Structure 1
Amino acid sequence: MQATPKRLIIGISGASGVTYGVRMLQLLRNAGVETHLVMSKTAELTFAYETDLKIAEVRGLANVSHAIDDMAASISSGSFRTAGMIVAPCSMRSMSEIASGVTTTLLTRAADVVLKERRRLVLMVRETPLHTGHLRTMTALSEMGAIVAPPVPAFYAKPENLQEMVDHTVGRVLDLFDVDVGIVRRWGEDDALKHRPRAVRKIVP
């Protein structure tokens, strides 16, 4: 049997933080992972607000770019084998559609397929604060097998700029697919991250 190349679906929704999806595509291309991109229409608007990138440039980072309304695309079928899907970032609307199974776009349909095929689905949910409805939806998704991974920075990695914060978060998400792109500063492995206990300051009443 012919080996299937490692494939990942990358979804970019309209939430703030589209830079996570872009960085994901860049790193996966360098790692030799085949990527299938699908972006929501609102994501294209967010790119205009948050970056100087043209949509054609973003699409060019993926091996295959699918139109959001192409419900006959390869990634809409479970017979198309992939290692799973990352939605980076994931809006509350996309998250809710995926949880309900009532999907209206290729992005949420592809995520639904990943769940039904028992493949790995990681949602970089971008919203705060969260109300009870959000939390219940996240619980439902977790029970269905998805991983909810909000893009929370890790300050123990001592990032010097925003790019390093993005890279660490993206690298940790890729760890969930056993893809090491060499950008994560790992606790217990990086000598610069040795624990330094702080002195306890005496509190005088």
Structure 2
Amino acid sequence: MTDGTASKRVTLAVTGAGGTGAAKRLLLALQDDDRVEQVHLVVSPAGRKLVAFEFGAAEDPQSVARALGASSPKIQVHDPEDLTAPIASGSYRNDAMVVLPCAAGVLGRVAQGQAEDLIERAADVQLKQRRTLLLCLREAPLNLIHLRNMVAVTEAGAIVYPMIPTYYNVPETLAELQEELVERLLEMLGLPRTDRYAWDGSGTPARREHATAR
């Protein structure tokens, strides 16, 4: 898919919170999009445990990358402890970063500017360079610390995008919930793919499809 948009470099970070299936869908969409020239994939140790649990895979980095669908040469996998990776430097053009799912602890450290690993350092770089950073928080219920951290990162320039599904599309499967989340994230990255979930005043194409099927 191409519309003349300049090629983008995107970082996808997966941390230790449930919902790594959505990260896989996003990674597949990014690697298949001609508008994306490079994808930097970073999975935290806790994220590897979640991927292994949710996909029935081994926890080693190679198995985790395969479980997430990494198969394109445009994907560069980084060790979360490697602070020499290009995305750790503001001099490297990294157009956007998505943390999906984003653990509450990662949110808190980003909010406080505490870069303890590559994920948090790359997020800090996005903020200081005034570049797109989407933090897809997976936590409920939220305590006051979470809420204050969300305000702090928003004030610093990040977008907090909790993994909260919409229901007016009448989703029937987990896959549909994940697909809609990913499509909305892609739109926020400047990589729109479909208007299937766009409200037009009376509904959405996805909702009408379900209504017709019934």
TM-score class, shorter-chain normalisation, is: 0.7 to 0.9
- Structure 2 vs 1, CA of residues 85 and 191 (structure 1 numbering), >3 Å: closer, same or farther? closer
Work out the number of aligned pairs and report it.
192
Matched, 1:122 2:145: no
Alignment TM-score, normalising by the size of structure 1: 0.87
Alignment TM-score, normalising by the size of structure 2: 0.84
Give how far 1:180 is off.
1.4
Q: Quick one: which amino acid aligns to residue 26 of structure 2?
A: M
Matched, 1:10 2:12: yes
What is the rounded CA distance, in whole Å, between the counterparts of 2:162 and 2:206 in structure 1? 26
Q: Quick one: which amino acid aligns to residue 54 of structure 2?
A: E
What is the rounded CA distance, in whole Å, between the counterparts of 1:116 and 1:61 in structure 2? 31
Select between 57-66 and 182-191 the one with higher mean Cα deviation. 182-191
Structure 2 counterpart of 1:19, from 7, 21, 29: 21
Matched, 1:161 2:200: no
What is the rounded CA distance, in whole Å, between the counterparts of 2:187 and 2:80 in structure 1? 27
Structure-to-structure mapping, 1:1-205, within 5 angstroms: 5-32=7-34, 33=36, 34-53=38-57, 54-57=63-66, 58=68, 60-61=70-71, 63-182=75-194, 184-188=196-200, 190-191=204-205, 193=207
Uncovered stretches (5+) of structure 1, i.e. residues with no partner: 195-205
Select between 184-193 and 3-12 the one with higher mean Cα deviation. 184-193
Percent identical residues = 35
- Structure 2 vs 1, CA of residues 160 and 80 (structure 1 numbering), >3 Å: closer, same or farther? same
What is the rounded CA distance, in whole Å, between the counterparts of 2:132 and 2:175 in structure 1? 26
What is the rounded CA distance, in whole Å, between the counterparts of 1:4 and 1:72 in structure 2? 26
Query: Secondary structure of 1:27's match?
Result: helix
Uncovered stretches (5+) of structure 2, i.e. residues with no partner: 58-62, 209-214
- Structure 2 vs 1, CA of residues 65 and 174 (structure 1 numbering), >3 Å: closer, same or farther? same
Contact 1:172 1:184 in 2 (8 A): no
- Structure 2 vs 1, CA of residues 193 and 17 (structure 1 numbering), >3 Å: closer, same or farther? closer
Query: Secondary structure of 1:157's match?
Result: coil
What is the rounded CA distance, in whole Å, between the counterparts of 1:184 and 1:92 in structure 2? 31
Contact 2:14 2:99 in 1 (8 A): yes
Query: Secondary structure of 2:180's match?
Result: helix
Contact 1:28 1:35 in 2 (8 A): yes
What is the rounded CA distance, in whole Å, between the counterparts of 2:206 and 2:46 in structure 1? 40
Q: CA RMSD in A?
A: 1.9
Contact 2:169 2:204 in 1 (8 A): no
Give how far 1:49 is off.
1.6
What is the rounded CA distance, in whole Å, between the counterparts of 1:103 and 1:192 in structure 2? 40
